[in-house]
Structure 1
């Protein structure tokens, strides 16, 4: 495959991600700006949780403050979620939490490369809520669930 063909395929993929990002912003009734579209498209493309620095590297022409504001806006709108790492670095991942403003799934953190991946499962939040009820008894209600499984990602485990 020629580099020109690869470039055309990459450009088509970027256009599709930008269109998806724009549609998600519109559906969430969030004002569409080029920064928000670019940031959400980059998160959708990443396939893992990204730090502010990861995003700044990917979007080199974007001002740091603009990037922070776009990430905060996407998080507030439920289009992305913010993951607190034990290394005191926040990471962001695309995806609403199934209509909830609460973050209700776990993460896998590679202890070698520090990448963070979401552990998405439709039934996971309900299973965790049931485990809470079974362990602590009736009357306990969670409003946010955070857990992290640590190990080696597929790349680092080789």
Structure 2
């Protein structure tokens, strides 16, 4: 994953640092969104400020997105959608397990074009979304057993 992380950083014209590569590689390899604490636990040798800066850089560059939780904890996941104006757009929802608090991205059920069409059908022409925040809550496969 480190090679993919380096490639994505290079393609986004972001300076490549060891911290950014480690954090992005971890996010790319993850099956769920990570809180700052999750990443901190994974990289105990990395100080908190460096980690915050790496996460902010990745988010600003559109290589990751920040998910605001109702528990006031931000979680991070690799990837963000880009549009013609080159700004990242967060155009999908999430699933949050109410038992373990893990958050998963729902990329496959929330194609941006379909959501944009639903918005215009409901509110009329002229409305355009740039960020979508919806969360389905329930139990993940591990907690449901």
When normalised by structure 1's length, the TM-score is: 0.86
Deviates more, 1:19-28 or 1:122-131: 122-131
- Contact persistence 2:95–2:137 (CA under 8 A): yes
- Contact persistence 2:97–2:138 (CA under 8 A): yes
- Contact persistence 2:82–2:89 (CA under 8 A): no
CA distance in 2 between counterparts of 1:28 and 1:141 reads: 25
Residues 153 and 94 of structure 1: is their aligned pair in 2 closer, same or farther, counting only changes over 3 Å?
same
Aligned residues, how many?
A: 142
Q: For residue 141 of structure 1, what is the aligned residue in structure 2?
A: 128
Structural mapping, 1:86-125, within 5 Å: 86-99=70-83, 100-121=87-108, 124-125=111-112
1:77-120 deviations in Å (ceiling 9; x for gaps): 01100000011000000113245511010000001100000001
2:138 pairs with 1:151:
yes
Q: For residue 32 of structure 2, what is the aligned residue in structure 1?
A: 48
- Contact persistence 2:62–2:82 (CA under 8 A): no
Residues 96 and 139 of structure 1: is their aligned pair in 2 closer, same or farther, counting only changes over 3 Å?
closer
Q: Which runs of 5+ in 2 are unaligned?
A: none
- Pick the aligned partner of 1:38 from 19, 22, 31: 22
RMSD: 1.3
- Contact persistence 2:32–2:77 (CA under 8 A): yes
CA distance in 2 between counterparts of 1:138 and 1:46 reads: 38
Over 2 Å off, 4+ runs: none
Higher helix share: 1
Q: Which runs of 5+ in 1 are unaligned?
A: 1-16
